[in-house]
Structure 1
Amino acid sequence: MTDDASPDGRPDGRPDEGPDTGPDTGPDTGPDTGPDTGPDKALTAAEAAVLAYEGRTWPGPGAKERAIREGLGMTPVRYYQLLNVLMDDPRALAHAPGTVNRLRRIREVQRARR
């Protein structure tokens, strides 16, 4: 090793930063957790369960909310928040088109009334 070489053996004195992989595109923000995770990504088990619950019929008031708490382990408020996001998710449409389209029609009717 010569006197002008860095401790890792680079002749220019700069530390080795690994192979150049092209321009830096910014920090890695981790996995995409939003609804638009792409058509190649499958729904999570919770998302699929929400769509399955929404596709069922319920015997009376309160039964669905009780089943959401007991069966899914989430509050009804969280359930409906997730369901609202899923209504605009193309993965949900591919998974349960009848349920998603029915929910979208209901939402549009409600919006038109306002």
Structure 2
Amino acid sequence: MDLTEHEQAMLAFERRWWRYGATRASAARQRFALGPGEYGAVINSLVERPEALAHDPVLVRRLRRMRATLRLERSERHAA
């Protein structure tokens, strides 16, 4: 299954969100009509898909690394 145009647009946005001159949350709300939690959930599920990895491997790997780092930091804070 290929990525939809909307999914491709979301990946393109994630690659360049800072160019919109706003925070990621407000830019995502304007561009996709999604709140921060909804947008994050969509991106998280999208980066798990092999089609997303094939479409933009550098971005998807970077997002996966960032997510893993955040999870590790959260677990370390809770353990402390």
TM-score under structure 1 length normalisation: 0.55
CA displacement at 1:91 relative to structure 2 = 0.6
- Give the superposed CA RMSD: 2.2
Point out which structure has higher relative CO (alpha carbons under 8 A, 6+ apart).
Answer: 2
CA displacement at 1:62 relative to structure 2 = 4.7
Structure 1 residue runs of 4 or more that deviate by more than 3 Å after TM superposition: none
Whole-angstrom distance in 2 between the partners of 1:58 and 1:50: 13
CA contact (8 A) 1:49 1:72 kept: no
Partner of 1:93: 53
CA contact (8 A) 1:50 1:79 kept: no
CA contact (8 A) 1:42 1:91 kept: yes
**2:30 is aligned with 1:70:** yes
Partner of 1:47: 7
- Report percent identity of matched pairs: 38
- The DSSP-based 3-state class of the residue aligned with 2:18 is coil
Q: Deviations over 1:37-75 (max 9, x none)?
A: xxxx2111221121111111516x953222212222222
Opposite residue 15 of structure 2, the aligned amino acid is: G
Opposite residue 44 of structure 2, the aligned amino acid is: N
CA contact (8 A) 2:17 2:27 kept: no
CA contact (8 A) 2:3 2:52 kept: yes
Greater CA radius of gyration, 1 or 2?
1
TM-score under structure 2 length normalisation: 0.74
Opposite residue 58 of structure 2, the aligned amino acid is: G
Whole-angstrom distance in 2 between the partners of 1:80 and 1:52: 15
- Name stretches of at least 5 consecutive residues in structure 1 with no aligned partner: 1-40
- The DSSP-based 3-state class of the residue aligned with 1:58 is helix
**2:39 is aligned with 1:79:** yes
